[in-house]
Structures are given as structure tokens and as C-alpha cells.
Amino acid sequence: MAEGEVPEISPPEASRNGAGHVRNEDLPMLAAVWLAQGYDSDELRELAGMTRQEGQQGGRQLLPGVLASLGWPMRDCRNPREEIPWRGYWDAIAWAQEQMDRLLSPYAAAQKVIEVAGDVPDLWVLAGGERLMSLLRDWDEHRAERQQIDDQLREHLRSLREEDVPPLISG
């Protein structure tokens, strides 16, 4: 992040990863951004009032207290599987996305996502299971339109994001 650039991370995101990609010296700026967005607590104001040098030296130690004061305590990673969105199924979906047009055709990648989403009822809607099923039916029935349908499958599968799905355990 360049000097003066405002970090883009919300308190809920920071609670999941400890704002790991934000440099210590940028934590006061992040706190100031959160204040401007309407978050408020004594701990947040303390962090926002630090200089960059103070943030470098002690900002990271204040962060857990700041997040807890905002209602977003940092996650305990001793049991990370419980915190994984898609209940631990994301790896299979990410693999299908990654292998699409390499090892898998868009049709086969969609089948993999349907298989995963079908195993967990909460995922069916979030993964767009009905849309994928419809596209696969169209692909089977309309040979002349397969290239267009492959493009639609690619677009749909690439739109799936791990962070769109809530973790197994909330707040």
C-alpha cells in the first residue's frame, strides 16, 4: 500500500484475518477510515489517534481490542475448519474454477460445483445450482449453442466467491 492510500478492509474482514495484509503503520489510518464509516469505540479512537510510527510499534497489539469493541472479535484459528465459508467445501469449488479450461471443460467444472452444492442444502442457492442445472440441460439439448453455453458456464463459475457465503459459525 502506498503512503497515504486508505486500506480497504471492513471490521468483519479484519476479524477473520487480523488485517494481515495491512501494514502496522497503516493501522491508525484504517481505524480513522472505520470512524469515518460510522464505527465508534474508545479503543478505535485510540488507534485512530496514533501516528504512523506509533502504529508501527503498537498498533497490531491494539487491533484485537478494537475489533472486539466493535462487535467483531478476532477469530480463534485453533479450529479453522469451522470458520471456513462453504463449510469446508470451497476447496473443491476453487479447484473446479482453477481447472476449468485446463483439466476440465466448463461442463465438467459445473458438474463438480453442482456435486458439491448438492451435498449441502445451504449452498444450492448460493452456488446458483438451478442456473447451472439449466445451463447443463441447454448444453445437452442444443448442440449448435454449446460455445455460447460454455461461455455462460465460465462466467457463472468465475463469479462464485468464497467470501459470499457465511461461515458455519457466525459472530
The x, y and z cell numbers of residue 90, run together, are 470451497
For residues 17 and 58, state if they share a domain.
yes
Among 15-19, 100-104, 163-167, the least confident range: 163-167
Residue 128 sits at the vertex; the CA angle it makes with 77 and 118, to the nearest 5 degrees, is: 70
For residues 45 and 112, state if they share a domain.
no
| Domain housing 124 | 84-164
The whole-angstrom separation of Cα 34 and Cα 37 is 5
The x, y and z cell numbers of residue 110, run together, are 459445473
* Whether the predicted pLDDT of 114 surpasses 70: yes
Segment of 35-49, 78-92, 138-152 carrying the highest mean pLDDT: 138-152
Which of 23, 39, 69 is at the close of a domain? 69
Domain membership of residue 36 (yes or no) is yes
For residues 91 and 60, state if they share a domain.
no
The x, y and z cell numbers of residue 120, run together, are 449441502
The whole-angstrom separation of Cα 29 and Cα 7 is 7
pLDDT of residue 83: 52
Contact 74, 15 (CB under 8 A): yes
For residues 92 and 57, state if they share a domain.
no
Half-sphere exposure of 164 (CA within 13 A, CB side): 11
* Whether the predicted pLDDT of 159 surpasses 90: yes
How confident is residue 4, by pLDDT bands cut at 50, 70 and 90?
A: low
For residues 111 and 143, state if they share a domain.
yes
pTM, 2 dp: 0.51
Read off the pLDDT of each residue in 94-123 and give the average, rounded to a whole number.
Answer: 90
For residues 49 and 115, state if they share a domain.
no
Domain membership of residue 156 (yes or no) is yes
For residues 90 and 52, state if they share a domain.
no
Domain membership of residue 31 (yes or no) is yes
pLDDT in tens, 26-80: 999 999 999 999 999 999 999 999 999 998 898 888 988 888 888 878 765 555 5
The more confidently predicted of residues 44 and 83 is: 44
In the chain, how many domains are there?
A: 2
For residues 15 and 57, state if they share a domain.
yes
Domain membership of residue 78 (yes or no) is no
Domain membership of residue 4 (yes or no) is no
pLDDT of residue 1: 45
The backbone region for 41, taken as left when phi is positive above 0, alpha when psi lies in -120 to 50, beta otherwise, is beta
For residues 91 and 159, state if they share a domain.
yes
* Whether the predicted pLDDT of 149 surpasses 70: yes
Domain membership of residue 92 (yes or no) is yes
The more confidently predicted of residues 107 and 7 is: 107
Domain membership of residue 170 (yes or no) is no
